[in-house]
Structure 1
């Protein structure tokens, strides 16, 4: 679907207390920082949360920075045009906030070696390209625990976006956690092949609900699945990327929140003090990059306590959502007894785990 791109430039106006302690930026002009978003900033999910991080940069550094963004950028050639536009406008640090922007980032970075690029959820790097990501699967495990305890039909639905490792991690982590507390659980998956399309997301939610699902998770960014669940009246949901608390206490009973603000503030500071370097960051509950939204009163007290304990155990490293023995869907071995998945194994995960009967995309 073709989408128009809108550019919005916001000069930071906040005055920061104790600004003398901020890193010095050699240039007389503010550091210009650009963002491209795959969806609208008002999606109340993924792009909204990244934009909260952009605003945090402004709060932290005031008139030392000037930020801008282009929203609704489709993954593909349009991303190159948007990134080039930001570079030509003098942005020296550019954040590309969706997996499908990866090749565009690499292509444009070659043309602008003096500009620093940061790509969210990607894996390709260069001297002027860094990557950053969050361990979203940790939050999915907590959602799976709540869903496994609360379902009455023993059917949990997952609206998947694209068949990439991040999404498989989420599906599998939710299923394994739900299965641990409810052996009768069944995972239903609908692939929407979009990050943000309220109509498609609503259709996917309706299909899952019609199939008997009463717990709904999503890897897409609009609140359409929550609205569809609210219509059904007996389905619980979880916020995606941001809290989506307008649907609390029902159907949204908790959420996984992507907290990009500290990372964005840190990387902007590194640009200003000259310490920026290409690196790969993958933060989780332990670093605060993944947060668990308030668990509503619709969740029984004992289930809430169990979920919060799991959050603490994952954060401390006591529990890893992917711990063997564990097989792939086809029965082949994935993890031996007691073995925990490495980051490399998770980054290459493009399969369902054993017990999920849904057919994987070809």
Structure 2
């Protein structure tokens, strides 16, 4: 294990984050959130990129300060190249390139989704890191997939959503309920006081390991419209039970496919990653499955589930050890295909 010191920069959506990693240990992990998007019920790309421009220098400065290091101490800079909002990515990419050039240190590009998965290898992410091969259920606002992880840079997507992501479904259903954005954490909180068996919503029937979440969104919408016509206060009077029932359904959809994949591939090393992996219902469900099916499970610390620069620094460190550096002419990409990214990494071995 090298004692390299890596600065990680994450700016794929609406969180500006910087982290410093030494070896596999995080020395600092700083993030600035953008509250303005609550007013619009979702992330506004133009506002997000402007906020990144305002936040990135103070966030990076604070990351250095908390880590108690100076700019001259870093070995390389890792940054999120994609996928994400192009305007937001451009801010992080431009800053990383400029700083790397000024410090004459290597620049390392990171796939955001890959970083969510490899966050498990940060020293304090879990009591121990997963063993290869393992399955990782990667769930966030923009992505939902089951990834077979054979090695750090040898991964295969074996199932993914054909429409909405799980986090997107939480947010859209929350909007139907009149909840603030992002609705996922609010639904999780309210569900703790509700009866998860109060209401039944549709679950999709798809082949193999793929997901669909547009059906539950439509099911909830039609159900609410029907009930509100009968009782205008229906949502207010039943919000806890509604949230609990929705959360149970989404978690069951996620777990059914993950269980099928684990059994079909005979893999008992199971991890979760991404923003929705912070959901208490999902964490409880995977814990129950571990006891029932004999899984060895890996649930990251909350601070490594949402978009954060620590996970970017972790992937950058692994690439640094392999001598995989990016050219300063590299550009951000909103649709960084995860499988192409993995294959590209494999070819450079």
Instruction: Answer yes or no: same fold by TM over 0.5.
Output: no
TM-score (norm: length of structure 1)? 0.33
TM-score (norm: length of structure 2)? 0.34
Structure scoring higher RCO (CA < 8 A, sep ≥ 6) equals 2
